[in-house]
A and B are shown apart, each in its own frame.
Chain A
Amino acid sequence: MSEPASARFERRSLASAPIRVVSHRASLLTRLKSLWGRRELLVSLTASDIKIKYKNSTLGFFWSMLSPALTLAIYFMVFGVVLKSGIPDFALYLFSGLVVWNLFSNAVNTATGVIVERSGLVKKVSFPREILALSNVGAAVVYFFSQLLVLAVVLAAMRHAPDWGYMWLLPLAFVSLYFFTAAVAMLMSGITVYMRDMKHLMEVALMLWFWLTPVVYSYSNSMAQQLRSHGLLWIYFCNPITWIVLTFQRIFYVTQVAVSPKTNTVIHVLPNWPLSTYVTMNVALVGITIALFLVAETLFGRLEVNFESEL
């Protein structure tokens, strides 16, 4: 037999080893620290989520680009060809908003039931439970980047230049998107342990949410006026996804005003806000979503206490 591996490890002195404290309720800071301490587990779980999803399928990871492309094709057929939205380069408009929505809905859909599904693990192994939800968000982020890559290819193929002056807003918008998605995913995964209906409810809620977000229709062209006249504009903008979608569309689709090739009428595809509005909006949103994430983390900590007896 070869030399045991333990001999190769230098046994560190225990006196200097870190101490883990298990007590009734950990503070937010302690929770965030332990979350950060287990980031390698988050990476492993994310990787395994992706692997499991595409295991045994012939096309494998390619599906992460193929299935949104098919969705895109369907929406394009329905709204671009049959119903004639009149938005020029409609596929591009759709795609720039859909990448955002796909990240959000993928993550929330999978994370909602994740703690219930992996109850065996939750009851036996110790780790910050929110990592399970965050690993679903992580997988959705990976798919998001693969779709972004496809978007870049499509842009190049159509010789459609993104607005480079706005490009630096992309990381800000992504950070907001990540924290908002993570907050919702975490909260939903925790609540589902106590109310199993949440999973079904969330599927419907996401569908409604999708139509409240200007992905397949143009906010400026079809919603803005009616909302303003009813004084409901603020409700519409309570949805952070709308802010992020508008930013993505401004960066990749660019065109604010276009003349519809079919009807020959002027269409306000995107709001004609100046750069400063987008900057204020995105900076504020980063702050808001990080705050939401911290609130969700705190609430998850409260929910977590009784997981053991509820699962």
Chain B
Amino acid sequence: MVTTIEVDNVSKEFKLHHGRHQSLKERLLHPGAGTVQKFSALQNVSFSVSEGETVGLVGHNGSGKSTLLKTICGVLQPTSGQIRVRGSLAALLELGAGFQPELTGRENVYLYGAMLGFSRKMVDVIFDDIVAFSEIEQFIDTQVKFYSSGMYVRLAFAVAVNVNPDTLVVDEVLAVGDERFQAKCIDRIRRFQEEGRSILLVTHNADQVRQLCQRAVVLDGGVMIADGPTQDALRTFREHLLDDAVAHEGDVANANVRIQSVTTPSGSFDVRSGAGMHFDVTIESESAYSGNFVLELFTRSGLLVSRSDAQGSPVNLRPGNNVVGVDLAQLPLLDGIYDINVGVVDARGSNVIAWSEKAASLEVTYDGREGGIVDIGASVRQN
């Protein structure tokens, strides 16, 4: 397997200037003004992305993921360490940053293509696909300054995905455009995966990572805290939040809550669509703790079906084992296997205290012939 991105022991330090003057006069008048503080945005980060792999880069705001991304794209130089990128790379950083408002859509497509490192001839070949994908055929010869922001972004996205780079770097851009366009983008990313290209997806949206990535890298405060299969990495991501909570709130530290098991009375998680079901969650706690119980249901492809309100189900845990019963009145789900995540969060619903990923899997059987994940109970009649 060929490695497309290799991040080798990369660190990045920024100098933060406080109150420094930017004009010559002020600098001459106050030569020593302002202080310089060093800020370490990345510390010895190493990981690699192989050909055909989709890797999620997860972290909170300020975790250093954008800095890392910029160094991978070559916009920033690392203070130490090295990054090796094999083959072509297109980054969906800020879409349309390379556009010149005065030029037409057509001229911008060629210019943006050149910026991404693709020749005029290559852009010629894919030009029609780009225009078709962006859905702005009739405005392609209009100056970009007259475009709506949606058109702008659609055109930029269309260029970046249609130049067919060996590696695509996507940064939170899936939040743009209307839902139909988003679906189209996801679709395109899936085709990228099928074609065996590498994708690095940067996001703080764990659901998106679960949906698209096989592997995830987790950053926190500039340090890489996990690199592994998506589920494991996301677990670390959550547990790390937990550690943070522990560090910040003394009373939580004493709680020490763990999810022990998820069981059904019959021992089976098979259920008929439309029927109800009941399961018990055993939670072990070392001390008394008041928090909220959270339940998540995912499809196997990683689509979130439902997440319960993080403040909606208070539980008062006693020391020792506690059993929490969960009743699902009726499951309108269609055929398939659904994964259940359960957890306990604090009273405000902002910190995870205990979590169990894929605690159980529901197997739903459905007799009808509808497609999708949910039975909406449509009845059709002719007037």
Contact = CB atoms under 8 A, between A and B. Distances in A.
A56 B2 CA distance: 50
The 10 closest A-B pairs by CB, nearest first: A126-B74, A17-B87, A124-B97, A197-B24, A44-B114, A22-B83, A5-B126, A23-B82, A5-B129, A41-B114
B102 interface: yes
Interface stretch (B65-73, B274-282, B322-330, B357-365): B65-73
A231 interface: no
Contact of A44 (B85, B87, B111): B111
6 contacts: A9-B164, A40-B120, A52-B100, A125-B91, A197-B25, A309-B15
Nearest to A22: B83
Given A5-B129, A52-B100, A14 B111 contact: no
A14 B86 contact: yes
Given A17-B87, A125-B93, A196-B23, A22 B164 contact: no
Interface string A74-114: 00000000000000000000000000000000000000000
Given A19-B86, A20-B85, A309-B14, A127 B115 contact: yes
B195 A24 contact: no
Given A22-B82, A44-B111, A308 B76 contact: yes
Interface string A10-23: 01001101111111
Given A21-B82, A120-B94, 13 more contacts: A5-B126, A5-B162, A6-B164, A17-B87, A20-B74, A44-B111, A55-B103, A56-B102, A120-B97, A125-B73, A126-B91, A127-B117, A196-B23
Nearest to B166: A14
A24 B77 contact: yes
A195 interface: yes
Contacts of A52: 100, 102-103
Contacts of A121: 97-98, 115
Interface residues of B, number: 58
B54 to A, nearest CB: 15
Contacts of B302: none
Interface string B211-244: 0000000000000000000000000000000000
A216 B25 CA distance: 34
Interface of A: 4-6, 8-9, 11, 14-15, 17-25, 38, 40-41, 44-45, 48, 51-52, 55-56, 120-127, 195-198, 201, 304-306, 308-309
Given A22-B74, A24-B77, A309-B14, A4 B129 contact: yes
Contacts of A122: 75
Contacts of A18: 86-87
A24 B73 CA distance: 14
B51 interface: yes
Nearest to A25: B77
A45 B111 contact: yes
A201 B2 CA distance: 52
B81 interface: yes
A20 B165 CA distance: 14
Contacts of B103: 48, 51-52, 55
Contact of B2 (A14, A48, A125): A14
Nearest to A6: B164
Contacts of A308: 70, 75-76
A89 to B, nearest CB: 40
Interface of B: 2, 4, 14-15, 22-25, 27, 51, 70-89, 91, 93-94, 97-98, 100, 102-103, 107, 110-111, 114-117, 119-120, 125-126, 128-129, 143, 162, 164, 166, 191, 195-196
Contacts of A14: 2, 4, 51, 86-87, 166
A11 to B, nearest CB: 7
B98 A23 contact: no
A21 B75 CA distance: 12
A38 B115 CA distance: 9
A6 B25 CA distance: 55
A1 to B, nearest CB: 8
Contacts of B162: 5
Nearest to B162: A5
Given A6-B195, A40-B120, A197-B23, A22 B71 contact: yes
Contact of A124 (B80, B94, B100, B111): B94
A120 B72 CA distance: 18
A124 B196 CA distance: 26
A17 B111 contact: no
Nearest to A123: B75
A304 B97 CA distance: 19
Nearest to A13: B2
B117 A24 contact: no
A125 B98 contact: yes
Given A5-B164, A22-B77, A125-B93, A17 B114 contact: no
Contacts of A19: 84-86
A18 B89 CA distance: 11
A21 B83 contact: yes
A268 to B, nearest CB: 42
A45 to B, nearest CB: 7
Contact of A40 (B25, B89, B114): B114
Given A38-B117, A120-B97, A17 B166 contact: yes
Most buried by A among B70, B75, B120: B75
A195 B85 contact: no
Contact of B75 (A41, A48, A125): A125
Nearest to A304: B77
Most buried by B among A14, A21, A197: A14
